[in-house]
Structure 1
Amino acid sequence: MTPDPARHWLSYPVHRGDPEGFRPKPLDEFAADARPALDAGDAFDHRTTRGSRDIVSISVQRAGVIAALLDELALRLRPGVEAGPIQADGELSLLARELADDMYRWASPE
């Protein structure tokens, strides 16, 4: 089955364990799978200052989810990729917004 960019994650399929091999991963399924990973790690561990740069430390789980979202975005932004309107329940958008809001909070001067 070919992934539908309007409904499926493009950066990796999911193995079904049968002769047909892989199936496309729905966008909503990625969001549901990511929530427990985010809950398992701290949002941001701490902020330190070295010289003139602030450094923010995040959990491995949070970094993995952010990396997966960026991989997906990179694929979707390639020339010629057409997704059309996204057909999902909005959980993936909400997840990305929450991660961005956390990062903006930590990136803002105190």
Structure 2
Amino acid sequence: MHDDVVQAQYAQLRSAAIEVLDAMPGAADSSPQFHDALKSLRAALEGETPPRSLPTRSSLDPFEHSLVARSYVGQRAEPISLAERAVELRRRLEGDRDLEDRLPGEPSRNVAVTELRAMIVAGLLEELAARLSPGAAFGPGRSGEELARLAKDLADELLAQTFVGE
């Protein structure tokens, strides 16, 4: 009796999943990985062996890619290498204004932090830099070096504004 209930539930789940697949709109902008996943799901639901797809480069490698930033190409989000992320952030920082520079009538939008918070943020940036540099945490890879240098530079800039930097 228990097997009959399980089989009935499985059949109901299978039917519902196939209905979802059939009802999905054409996903012309979807990634190849999405299409492969749908094919595998349909094959599994139909009792066939899912086609084996080769691993794709779009999966994020934390030793090579930023985990928090993407580059948008059309409707797709593409991974950004750690080196590319460092270049982009440095470029943005170079275009930043001085703390006191403002257009006439522009409100101050600078963030003020206490000395203690600045030291804690700097400490976290130093920890991040150590983790992105080749060594025990990051391994022998050198992909994170530019981002590590940027984090260290920002930490030094913050610390220079505290009693630690005096």
Q: Which residues of structure 2 form unaligned runs of 5+?
A: 1-57, 101-110, 114-120, 132-136
Residue 40 of structure 1 corresponds to 95
| Structure 1 residue aligned with 2:152 | 97
**How far 1:84 sits from its partner (Å)?**
4.6
Amino acid aligned to 1:16: V
Taking the TM superposition and a 5 Å limit, the aligned residue runs for 1:61-76 are none
Q: Identity, % of aligned pairs?
A: 31
Aligned residue pair count = 79
Q: CA RMSD in A?
A: 3.3
* Equivalent of 2:77 in 22, 32, 44: 22
Aligned-pair CA distance for 1:17: 2.1
Contact 2:65 2:82 in 1 (8 A): yes
Report the TM-score, using the length of structure 1 for normalisation: 0.56
Q: What is the identity, as a one-letter code, of the residue corresponding to 2:80?
A: K
The two structures have a TM-score, normalised by structure 2, of: 0.39
Looking at both structures, which has the greater relative contact order when contacts are Cα pairs under 8 Å and sequence separation is at least 6?
A: 1
CA drift of 1:9 comes to 0.3
Query: Residues 41-100 of structure 1, C-alpha deviation per residue, up to 9 Å, x if partnerless?
Result: 246x26xxxxxxxxx859xxxxxxx9xxx8xx6xx9xxxxxx852441611111110000
Structure with more of its chain in helix, by fraction: 2
Runs of 5+ in structure 1 lacking a partner?
47-55, 59-65, 77-82
User: Is the contact made by 2:63 and 2:144 (CA closer than 8 Å) also made in structure 1?
Assistant: no
